[in-house]
Amino acid sequence: MMVTAATYESLMQFLYQAPIGLVQTTLAGDIEMMNPTTARLLMPLSRDGGLDNLFTALENVAPRLRHMAAAVDQPSGVVCDSLRIPLPATGGSAGSVVLSISMLKLDEARLVAVINDVTLEVQREQEGLSRTLGVAERVDKLTGLPNRFAVLERLQASMKLAAKEPGHEFALLYMNGDRFKQINDSLGYAVGDKLLSLIAERLRSTLRSRPRDGPGTLGGPLIARIGGDEFAVLLDDLKPPNNVYGVAQRLVDQLAKPYTIGTHELFCSVSMGVVLRDTASADADAVLQDASLAMAEAKRAGGMRFVLFEPGMHSRATHRASLEVDLRLALTDDQLFVVYQPVVGLQGKQSAEGIVERSAGVEALVRWQHPLRGVVPPFEFISVAEECGLIDALGEFVLRTACRQFVQWQAQLGARAPRTLAVNLSRGQLGEPGLISIVDGILRSSGMPPAQLQLEVTESLAAQGESALAKLRELKALGLTLALDDFGTGYSSLSSLHQIPVDTVKIDRSFVSKADTSLHHRVLIEATIHVAHSLGMNTVAEGIETQAQADVVRQLGADKGQGYLFSKPLLSADLVKWLEIEK
């Protein structure tokens, strides 16, 4: 291009008016030329109102610039490219101004610099960064699901909406894995992590196939991982008629199905607490807490189910908390004791009067003599003990006491002594790594003959997969026998009975109590006895209260019976008397 005087003039005009700062200096930084933008940008840095030297002006904010320029020893070259210079915030201005400076050594005598105000650019970058940070803060790294933060935020939003729109419904579903800890402890964190990812995936796929309840107001359901093995689902697109229970049940069902990890087939059902809009507190944190209270009730009821939150749970939780404090004392203060309920043979020898029931054994049942509350029933405190980690100490106490007592009866009563001792093993105990050696130690120290000890486990416990079954086999290797307690109330069926290494099946009281009035229950009892016998197991009918019930279960082939008809659980001294009368 030919540079005419006119084009030169317009170029100068352009440079002069450009919204970027242009400045030319000597190698020492003395300003030879600058445009008004430069003056505007640098003026705040000038202490005396003059702008003579660029390096002096920038002395406080970019002290290195002078040295950088001097360091370029070639005749020409780049001094710096887009060097960012944050200026000190001046009073009243929101956020500090950031300049960007690019400097070139033009020749042996001159430097030129381009100065930009990049404040907005920097702000935008920071916002972008905090947006990604914000996302990271709201995402669980392992599963990629939103986390607790995210749930609280959206819950808050949903609650706000509900306050404005009476028709807006929402429900918070809070889930906790029923036996994640055992899996994690026995198979390691890598398997645990994988399992959590699979649970997350199953939640997603189950909800993806959810029939829509209505047009969404805040988007689809929010699925989140809010802690170790705790997940939450926020359904906030509910329109009447909605079906929260249907969704909750479907999740419970789907999550109860096995997961395959490597060679392991793992079961990790969930307990779920559900809070509906109607019973929701005003604060998102409190809603989450209420959901976890309901979840804990679902867990206590045996897991693999959902429980709806209701405000009465608060006082129950307080009651349990005080029980927990008291129970710790009870263990050290001798407030616990053991009673024994006779288990009698039903298929005994004939006598002139008919069939004679013979004492076969006893079941040890724990009792708590509370200093103020009186006798607290086990269903109130066993679950408390499980939750607060006292179940091992409690279980050990019962086993030790009962074994000692049994040995004492043998010495005292000889042939009249009970022949077997049944002791309950709770869910929490089977997961305990030291269980086998504890049981072994008690057998040895008490002198209890292992073959006469029977440990009772519940169905749900026995149906918990391979590691639980392995534990049961280890127990049996000590020489004792096992019973499946409360059969019929849990989830394992007759068809899976052969997989559980037990010697005895105890048919639950809920069946026995209807044995004489309901054909349906009679058929189930008969089938249970039949299958048990075919597997070489014997049977106990629990909770027999009437002669009619006793007669029916005896006819159906039950080997033994237990219940108030024969005797309530008794103190040792009363049991000794009862044995006298029975003989």
> For 89, which DSSP code?
P
Q: What is the CA radius of gyration of the chain?
A: 39
382 part of the interface to ligand C2E, by CB under 6 A:
yes
Look up residue 522 and give its two tokens: 């009679």
The nearer residue to ligand C2E, 488 or 563, going by C-beta atoms, is 563
147 is an interface residue for ligand C2E by CB under 6 A: no
Q: How far is the CB of 359 from Ca ion (least distance, A)?
A: 18
- State both tokens at 42: 């640098």
545 binds ligand C2E (CB under 6 A): yes
Task: Please select the residue that binds Ca ion; options are 140, 178, 213, 485, rule is CB under 5 A.
Answer: 485
Q: Which stretch binds ligand C2E (CB under 6 A): 2-10, 278-286, 406-414, 557-565?
A: 557-565
Smaller CB distance to ligand C2E: residue 176 or 341? 341
* 140 makes contact with Ca ion (CB under 5 A): no
Taking residues 305 to 344 in sequence order and writing x for each that binds ligand C2E by CB under 6 A, - otherwise, the string is ------------------------------------x---
Nearest to 199 by CA among 261, 149, 290, 137: 261
Task: Using the minimum distance from each CB to ligand C2E, give the nearer residue, 255 or 505.
Answer: 505
Smallest gap from residue 438 Cβ to ligand C2E (A): 14
Site for Ca ion in 402-441 (CB under 5 A): 424
Q: How far apart are CA 310 and CA 294, in angstroms?
A: 8
Q: Long-range contacts: 35-41, Cβ < 8 Å, 24+? A: 37/115, 38/115, 41/99, 41/115, 41/117
Q: Report, in Å, the least distance between residue 563 CB and Ca ion.
A: 11
Residue 405 CA to residue 446 CA, distance in Å, equals 9
Minimum Å distance from CB 569 to ligand C2E? 5
φ, ψ for residue 211, nearest 5 deg:
-65, 135
Interaction pattern, residues 434-473, with Ca ion; x per rule: CB under 5 A: ----------------------x-----------------
The closest alpha carbon to 32, from 116, 114, 100, 110, belongs to: 110
Task: For residue 282, count CB atoms less than 10 angstroms from its CB and return exposed for 0-12, middle for 13-18, buried for 19 or more.
Answer: exposed
CB 533 within 8 A of CB 557: yes
The stretch among 196-204, 322-330, 375-383, 475-483 that binds ligand C2E (CB under 6 A) is 375-383
| Separation of alpha carbons 397 and 381, rounded Å | 15
Angle, helices 148-164 vs 284-300, to 10°: value is 110
Residue 507 Cβ, how far from Ca ion at the closest point, in Å? 9
* Residue 364 neighbours by CB distance under 10 Å: 21
Query: Which backbone phi and psi does 562 adopt, to 5 degrees?
Result: -150, 135
Q: Which of 224, 232, 296, 365 binds ligand C2E (CB under 6 A)?
A: 365
State which of residues 488, 550, 569, 570 lies at the interface with ligand C2E (CB under 6 A).
569
- The CB-of-379 to ligand C2E minimum distance in angstroms stands at 5
Q: Across-strand partners of 114?
A: 22, 102
- Structure token pair of residue 50: 């003059």
Which tokens hold the place of 85? Answer: 């210079």
Cα–Cα distance between 503 and 513 in angstroms, integer? 23
What are the tokens at 258? 């096995």
297 binds, among ligand C2E, Ca ion, none (CB under 5 to 8 A by kind): none
Three-state DSSP string of 487-504: ECCCCCCHHHHHHCCCCE
Smallest distance, Ca ion to C-beta of residue 339, A: 13
Number of residues located near ligand C2E, criterion CB under 6 A? 22
The binder of 454, among Ca ion, ligand C2E, none, by C-beta within 5 to 8 A per type, is none
Distance in Å, CB of 391 to ligand C2E, minimum: 7
Among residues 392, 459, 486, 559, the one that binds Ca ion under rule CB under 5 A: 486
According to DSSP, the β-strands at 169-177 and 230-238 are antiparallel
Least Å distance, CB 445 to Ca ion, is 24
What's the residue count for the chain? 583
Q: Please report whether residue 189 would count as binding ligand C2E according to CB under 6 A.
A: no
Q: Contacting ligand C2E (CB under 6 A), which of 37, 182, 424, 446?
A: 424
Write out the binding residues for ligand C2E, residues 433-462 only, by CB under 6 A.
Answer: 456
Closest CA to 323 of 380, 365, 390, 375: 380
Whichever of 38 and 528 has its CB closer to ligand C2E, that residue is 528
Answer with the entry of ligand C2E, Ca ion, none that 320 interacts with (C-beta below 5 to 8 A by kind).
none
- Among 448, 455, 445, smallest CA distance to 417 is for 448
Q: Please, what is the minimum distance in Å from the beta carbon of residue 508 to Ca ion?
A: 6
- Which positions from 478 through 507 interact with ligand C2E, judged by CB under 6 A? 485-486
Question: x/- binding map, residues 50-89, to ligand C2E, per CB under 6 A?
Answer: ----------------------------------------
C-alpha–C-alpha distance, residues 386 and 361, integer Å = 27
Among 21, 342, 418, 543, binds ligand C2E (CB under 6 A): 543
519-534 helix and 547-555 helix, angle to the nearest 10 degrees: 50
Residue 536: count other Cβ atoms within 10 Å of its Cβ: 8
Chain residues in the site for ligand C2E (CB under 6 A): 341, 365-366, 377-379, 382, 395, 398, 424, 426, 456, 485-486, 509, 543-545, 562-564, 569
Binding site for Ca ion (CB under 5 A): 424, 456, 485-486, 542
